[in-house]
Amino acid sequence: MLTSSAAAAPAKRRAPARVLPGFKITLGYTLMYLCLIVLIPLSALVFKTFTLTWDEFWAAVTGPRVMASYRLTFGASLIAALVNVVFGLLVAWVLVRYQFFGKKLVDALVDLPFALPTAVAGISLTALLAGNGWVGQYFEPMGIQLAFNPNGIVIALIFSGSPFLVRTVQPVLEDAEKELEEAASCLGASRWQTFKHIIFPSIAPALLTGFAMAFARAIGEYGSVIFIAGNMPMISEITPLIIIGKLEQYDYAGATAVATVMLVISFILLLIINGLQAWQRRHSGAPV
Amino acid sequence: MSSQMIRRAEAGTTEAAWVRYTLIGISLVFLFLFLVLPLAAVFAEALRKGFDAYWEALKEPDAWSAIWLTLITALIAVPLNLVFGIAAAWCIAKYEFKGKSVLTTLVDLPFSVSPVVAGLVYVLMFGAQGWFGPWLQEHDIKIIFAVPGIVLATVFVTFPFIARELIPLMQAQGNEEEQAAIVLGATGWQTFWYVTLPNIKWGLIYGVILCNARAMGEFGAVSVVSGHIRGQTNTMPLHVEILYNEYQSVAAFAVASLLALLALVTLVIKSVAEWRHEREMKAIGDFSPENVKAAPLDLSLKAAS
């Protein structure tokens, strides 16, 4: 497999690559648009940060309220992404391997969190989970509050991140070679052993990619969280809300500093996700 | 292989019935709790005081201006990102060049930036204290706390949608058909219109529809740059927020229900596009002579390794 694809690659490159017109104009337009919309505005953020002294910057990004918000944002995002790994794998597995009534409908519904505006998800989850809501009323007598505290944040983040896992694992499961499982079974493996040693290693890169995507999305998430969070300083205030709060007090320097921290984190996560995807493509043996 | 072994092998690639039904059951319960209930709650809350209250809430002039602004924003943002998406996909998928992977990563960047940060960068550019702030004030141009800022923030957050959809699709299809068209004398435009576009049609529709859903539903980024002026710079999601914070629950959910309907329409179009694409791929797979040749080739490679 490896040698054949390595041999095919240079042959492809030797083919007349520039027969098609439009390379310069499309690349030029892409770069210009990318600079105008994304790169120059993001560099404004970085430059603004450099106008702060190190001490100012450090004070802005390590204040007690800000530190509490990092702990909350990262903790809740981590829990939500882990929950999504478990249920995302389960849903993807069920959708690929089993037949049941209404499967196509369920498959279409998985993308709902991508399509539903975050603010709508936010108020709807709040209405469900509040003490008098459809779901919240059953938890209230047990003394469990689901809305207006970190529980609500985790639930909102599970909602918004759920499609990432399903949609990254699903295609890998579809492409999985059944022959390997048949062979394992013929050699006497139990179904669980086959899953653990054959299936799981082949979907692990996809699971990790989906986890990183759901985590990255959760860290930046704003709309679906602020309605349900309760937004109490030190307890249920997420980092994006800290930025908004500083902006509303005209503390542009402080808002910029915290935003830069978030930008750096999301850039690192993006690089990790890209690396994971490249690993996944190599893993599945597809040409990169 | 004996028939007993085949049966054993087949049994070895699926689970016992009770395991299957338990797994299906758990995932359906999960999806019901996390997806169906929130969706149903939007409509239930919107209609809690009957249809009349629902209509009253939607007839309000502020609601109308929010709907208009949302439509206008999407009408500007989606075509801009459509042109960009096609241009980016063309140069990334059809050619090899230095720095291609860096460019691909940068195209993805707006996906991973928090919407709040996306809004903030435009405030730093065009706000009163921003780079161009003083110049804009001198010329009496308003971008932040006005419609242009909302459009810019929306363009930023929906930036990668169409490009992301098209790049893998066009990469998978390769250049052969386009090269043939060019060799036969077609111009670049003709090649794009008659060869490339029919091939990427469904992916393009899928990308546009997702881009549109996000453009109409964006909240965080728009909320930073809008200034929340009722009837002027309020998009539908922002209007939902204001109504909700004023404890006008029915009105908030009424406007939200329109956005939820938009989400449902998006999902339907998306599913149809996917099914059509799959069917076309299958049809090509059934009849294309290349595939007949490719199958044994694939087998021989496997045998060799």
pLDDT digits (tens, 9 = 90+) for A208-239: 999 999 999 999 999 999 999 988 888 899 99
Nearest partner of A118 among A173, A72, A156, judged by Cα: A156
pTM of the model: 0.87
DSSP assignment of A174-234:
HH--HHHHHHHHHTT--HHHHIIIIIHHHHHHHHHHHHHHHHHHHHH--HHHHHHH---TT
Percent of chain A with pLDDT over 90: 58
The pLDDT of residue A250: 87
Confidence of residue A180 (pLDDT cuts 50, 70, 90): confident
8 Å CB contact between B15 and A191 = yes
Length of chain B as a residue count: 305
Nearest partner of A262 among A225, A228, A219, judged by Cα: A219
Contact: A44, B124; criterion CB under 8 Å: yes
Of residues B12, B84, B91, nearest to A182 (C-beta): B12
8 Å CB contact between A194 and A184 = yes
Of residues B105, B236, B244, nearest to A123 (C-beta): B244
Alpha-helix runs per DSSP H in chain B: 3-11, 17-31, 37-46, 50-59, 61-94, 100-112, 115-126, 133-138, 147-157, 161-173, 176-183, 188-191, 197-217, 220-226, 236-245, 249-287, 289-304
The pLDDT of residue B150: 95
Contact: A240, B117; criterion CB under 8 Å: yes
8 Å CB contact between A113 and A190 = no
Return left, alpha or beta for B247; rule: phi > 0 is left, psi -120 to 50 is alpha, else beta: left
Residue A10 has pLDDT above 50, yes or no: no
State how far the Cα of A92 lies from the Cα of A100, in Å rounded to an integer: 14
Residue A7 has pLDDT above 70, yes or no: no
Residue A201 has pLDDT above 80, yes or no: yes
Does B197 contact A at CB distance below 8 Å?
Answer: no
ipTM comes to 0.86
B141, B144, B146, B147: CA torsion to nearest 10: 100
The pLDDT of residue B294: 42
Residue numbers in B near A1 (CB within 8 A): 301-302, 305
Residue A12 has pLDDT above 50, yes or no: no
Q: Looking at CA atoms only, how far is residue A283 from chain B in angstroms?
A: 16
What number of C-beta contacts closer than 8 Å exist between A and B? 306
- Residue B239: burial class (beta carbons within 10 Å; 0-12, 13-18, 19+): buried
Residue A133 has pLDDT above 50, yes or no: yes
Residue numbers in B near A18 (CB within 8 A): 95
Residue numbers in A near B91 (CB within 8 A): 22-23, 26-27, 30
Best residue of A52, A74, A124, A175 to probe chain B, by most B CBs closer than 10 Å = A124
State how far the Cα of B281 lies from the Cα of B304, in Å rounded to an integer: 28
Q: What is the mean pLDDT of each run of 10 residues along chain B (305 residues)?
A: 58 78 93 94 93 90 93 96 96 91 91 92 88 87 90 95 92 88 89 91 92 94 86 90 92 95 94 86 66 40 35
Q: CA separation (Å) from A250 to A274, B93, B142, B268?
A: 36, 44, 18, 43
Does A115 contact B at CB distance below 8 Å?
Answer: yes
Q: Which helix (H) or strand (E) holds A264?
A: helix A252-283
8 Å CB contact between A172 and A201 = no
The pLDDT of residue A1: 36
State how far the Cα of B52 lies from the Cα of B249, in Å rounded to an integer: 15
The pLDDT of residue A158: 96
* Three-state secondary structure call for residue A135: coil
In three state form, how does the secondary structure of B216-274 look?
HHCCHHHHHHHCCCCCCCCCHHHHHHHHHHCCCHHHHHHHHHHHHHHHHHHHHHHHHHH
State the amino acid at position A175 in one-letter form: D
Q: Calculate mean pLDDT across residues A242-253.
A: 90
pLDDT digits (tens, 9 = 90+) for A57-116: 999 999 999 999 999 999 999 999 999 999 999 999 999 999 999 999 999 999 999 999
Confidence of residue A144 (pLDDT cuts 50, 70, 90): confident
Cα Rg, chain B, nearest whole Å: 25
Contact: B105, A274; criterion CB under 8 Å: yes
Does A114 contact B at CB distance below 8 Å?
Answer: yes
Of residues A16, A23, A114, nearest to B210 (C-beta): A114
Of residues A37, A93, A112, nearest to B35 (C-beta): A112
The pLDDT of residue A31: 96
Return left, alpha or beta for B292; rule: phi > 0 is left, psi -120 to 50 is alpha, else beta: alpha
Q: Calculate mean pLDDT across residues A192-201.
A: 87
Contact: B30, A27; criterion CB under 8 Å: no
Does A167 contact B at CB distance below 8 Å?
Answer: no
Q: CA separation (Å) from B275 to A104, B172, B188, B202?
A: 10, 18, 30, 9
B218-234 core/surface letters (b: 16 or more CB in 10 A; e: else):
bbbbbbbbbbeeeeebb
The pLDDT of residue B297: 37
Phi first, then psi, for residue A17 (nearest 5°) are -80, -25
